[in-house]
Amino acid sequence: MSRPGGFKYKNDKVLHSAYEVPWHPILVDVNLWILGRYGILIVTSAYRPHKIHPGDSGIHSTVPLRADDIRSYIYPTPDELMERDINENWQYDPKRTHLKVAVFHDTGQGIHGHIQVHPNTVRIL
């Protein structure tokens, strides 16, 4: 039986890809923060050895893993408010303030949360 909350994966393919490489500890911290704050986290994409769309930066291919995608429609909080909440609590890189930890966008398969970190990512609140 499935619990209503918790840390989950979209399917077995995503689960297996998530364990192909080690995760950056800051990505783990951010994901656990989201889980603690919102009560559920469903990872829809993790490690990808190749880019999958023209705007793909390749960050899903880094080792250790520095990005994952999360399902966003499961949260009662509107996407733009959740994105703002995450970015008000986490700074991607203090030297590059234009870059964000959370980007909620649609790359062709529906809106989702893209969560990315850098070795310089810090908690700011």
Contacts of 37 (CB under 8 A, 6+ apart): 85
Amino acid at 71: R
Domain presence at residue 96: yes
Tokens linked to 79: 């996407």
14 pLDDT more than 90 = yes
Domain presence at residue 111: yes
Domain presence at residue 53: no
Domain presence at residue 78: yes
CB contact at 8 A, 30 and 115: yes
Q: Provide the whole-model pTM.
A: 0.88
Domain presence at residue 87: yes
**When comparing pLDDT for 110 and 20, which is higher?**
20
Domain presence at residue 39: yes
CB-CB neighbours of 79 under 10 Å: 17
Domain presence at residue 1: no
6 pLDDT more than 80 = yes
**Mean pLDDT in residue range 16-41:** 96
What would the pLDDT profile of 37-74 be if each residue is shown by its tens digit? 999 999 999 998 766 666 666 677 789 999 999 999 88
Strand 6-9 to strand 40-45: parallel, antiparallel, or no bridges (unpaired)?
Answer: parallel
Number of domains in the chain: 1
For residue 33, the enclosing domain spans 6-48+58-123
